[in-house]
Structure 1
Amino acid sequence: MMFSIVRRLGRGLLVVLLVTLAVVVLLSFAPGSVAEAILGDAATPEAVAALNSKLGLDEPLWMQYLNWIANAAQGDLGTSPLTGQSVTTAITERLPVTFQLAAMSLVIALVSAVFLAVISVMRPGSPVDRGTAALSSVFLSVPAFVAGPVLIYFFAVELGWAPVAGWNRIGDGIGLNLQSALLPAIAMSLMEIAAFHRLLRTDLMTTLREDFIGAARAKGMNEWYVMFRHALRPSSFSLITLAGINLGRLIGGTVIVETLFSLPGLGQLLASSIVSRDLIMVQGIVAFMAVVYVVINILVDSSYELIDPRVRKVATV
């Protein structure tokens, strides 16, 4: 067990290194530099070169990366040369917004998908089953950058049920916070609902054909009891794996939604840092998101034994 965890951590570290290295290489091909962003368009080449030397940006790219890795290993993700703010501080300030959006969208997607999948498999081929399949297809074809403006128009502009843009923190009141978070979370959750529903429906249909389900029904157990007590848990492996992977992806994929709704999260900070060529900030945010993604996947793998004791028995054989 310990060896397995260590092996996963080693693979996770390799993923983080490769991702951050890719960021450095890709940004090196982009025109301009952070020195030019700081000094403006009227800056002379001499002034740009002097500022690059002061910031250590005149060193070879591989040397800059190794220096950053050495500092990051000690918990120092660096300081933005553009804003003078610590990368760790910037992430800490903006993480609650991004995490709340990702968590809310995942919860909305899971609850909706479980409900749709259960009512579908209760009567396969029925109008309800066909209707949920059609709804799932619609959700699957509506990405967040399309759903966001539509939700803003109908629920914020026309109905006035939510603010068009901006963010209210929990300290401003739970109601205000949910008003500003609900539409972005729904926009992010639509495609997840479709994916989760299709996956869970397929696994439930397979589980309901198992002998132990037939035995439970033969004992006269209620169909809803059989569904939630015996069928749902062993059908959740693929769903939990996908949900864990998608949570990491949602945390790292809020750029579009946070930009559309003007939310002060990590996604918006990452987008603005890329535009301004703030490599230190981009590296720190990407490294943090990669670590979160790796940790979530390790936790998902470890959760299988808690969901189904049969996995624990197989692992001990």
Structure 2
Amino acid sequence: MLRAIGLKLVRLVPVLFLVSLATFFMVDLIPGDPAAASLGTEATLEDLEAVRKALGLDKPITERYSDWLSGAVTGDLGDSLRPPHQPVAELLRTNAGPTIRLAAMALGMSLVISVFLGVWSAHSSGKRADRLVSGTMFGFISIPPFLAGLLFIFFFVFRQSVPRWIWLVVVGLVAVRLLYLAAARWWEDRSDASGWVGYAVAALVVTGILLWVFVQWPDFPRTASHRYDDGWREQIRSLFLPALTLAITEIAVFTRLLRADMLSTLQEQFVLSSRAKGMPTWRILFRDALRPSSFSLITIAGITLGRLIGGTVIIETIFGLDGLGKLIVAFGVLPKNYTIVQGGVLVFAVAYVLLNAAIDISYQYLDPRIRRGRV
């Protein structure tokens, strides 16, 4: 297994080289003069020539790429063309923390919720629980993230406009509905405890969470900006709403994907054999069936994490979070600050490549056949 991991890491070298090549030349081919963008429209020809020489724009393109690549390998991505001319690597480092924490929190919430809902929906295929989960997930998919963010701000930040009794009614309706489903399932087949117990547990868990929100009622901030020296509770509180906004769509996608894979796995011979041996339902679902059903989920989750790191500019703008997306768009693309664009694109591209390599390595852990070279 270590040999296979080493070979995959070695194969990353030419891929990363091609990524750097594409990043440099794609940005370099953008119309416009970086020196003119740096100095403005009132610059003289002498000033433009001086800046071009300082930036190395007077050198052949191959020499410029070689200098840029050697600097990027050592962590030097150049300086910003706009005042105060900070190093690009420092700007990316400063803004990467909030974005990575936001993306990781959103992905973690999505995976935890979707695994439970996907397994439950597949186990109850064609029944009320399956229809309830499927309908809810279709509703989640239809909500654009920016709209969900605005709704969360309205209900959880400007909450004084929403009477508290409304939330108590919501808690009661959800609890009554789930308890009704549990009682109906128990009445249909009293010998099958796995059916109605799932509804009862879900009713208790959901009711407990909603009651906690109703009693505690966290004071969510309007903006997600926070200091690095804040405690972990303060950071979670400030990132909860934007993370939930990003997680809504991912929960729906992950749940539908896992449900489809679980339905196929539950028909496999080894699952039927476990059922014939009288294994507990929870063991069959979460130990025997979930592991081989998680290949597609892990693949999409890895791609989603890379996309969340690089594509959260709208959510960062809505919640006032100073992250990578906002940095590249507001301080790189719009003012034509091409060094920030180059550095940001390179970081995102390398992150995607490394995430896909991690996904390939995880396959060998999930499936012993891949680890032994049988597939």
Q: Give the structure-1-normalised TM-score.
A: 0.89
- Check the 8 A contact 2:77/2:88 in 1, yes or no: yes
Paired residues for 1:12-161 under 5 Å: 12-25=16-29, 28-29=30-31, 35=35, 39=39, 43-46=42-45, 49-50=48-49, 52-53=51-52, 55-56=54-55, 59=58, 62=61, 64-82=64-82, 83-158=84-159, 161=219
- Check the 8 A contact 1:204/1:235 in 2, yes or no: yes
Offset at residue 14 of structure 1 (A): 1.6
Of 175, 187, 203, the match for 2:233 = 175
Could you tell which deviates more after superposition, 156-165 or 111-120?
Answer: 156-165
Offset at residue 90 of structure 1 (A): 1.3
Q: Distance in 2 between matches of 1:203 and 1:316?
A: 21
Counterpart of 1:285, as a letter, is G
Corresponding position: 1:192 with 2:250? yes
Q: CA RMSD in A?
A: 2.4
- Check the 8 A contact 1:102/1:247 in 2, yes or no: yes
Q: Distance in 2 between matches of 1:277 and 1:261?
A: 25
Counterpart of 2:259, as a letter, is R
Corresponding position: 1:276 with 2:348? no
Counterpart of 1:283, as a letter, is Q
Q: Deviations over 1:227-280 (max 9, x none)?
A: 011000011111111111111111111211112211121111111121111111
Q: Distance in 1 between matches of 2:27 and 2:159?
A: 41
Identity %: 40
Offset at residue 5 of structure 1 (A): 3.4
Corresponding position: 1:221 with 2:220? no
Counterpart of 1:88, as a letter, is A
Closer, same or farther: CA 116–67 of 1 in aligned 2, 3 Å: same
- Check the 8 A contact 2:119/2:259 in 1, yes or no: yes
Offset at residue 66 of structure 1 (A): 4.9
Unaligned ranges ≥5, structure 1: none
Offset at residue 282 of structure 1 (A): 1.3
- Check the 8 A contact 1:55/1:81 in 2, yes or no: no
Question: Which position in structure 2 is the counterpart of 1:290?
Answer: 349
Offset at residue 176 of structure 1 (A): 2.0
Corresponding position: 1:304 with 2:371? no
Q: Deviations over 1:193-221 (max 9, x none)?
A: 11111111011000000011011011111
- Check the 8 A contact 1:80/1:281 in 2, yes or no: yes
Offset at residue 40 of structure 1 (A): 5.2
Closer, same or farther: CA 35–10 of 1 in aligned 2, 3 Å: closer
Q: Give the structure-2-normalised TM-score.
A: 0.76
Q: Distance in 1 between matches of 2:348 and 2:311?
A: 10
Offset at residue 39 of structure 1 (A): 4.6
Q: Distance in 1 between matches of 2:220 and 2:308?
A: 22
Corresponding position: 1:243 with 2:301? yes
Q: Deviations over 1:25-72 (max 9, x none)?
A: 3xx23x6x655555556x245476356435437537946555423422
Closer, same or farther: CA 158–24 of 1 in aligned 2, 3 Å: farther
Counterpart of 2:95, as a letter, is R
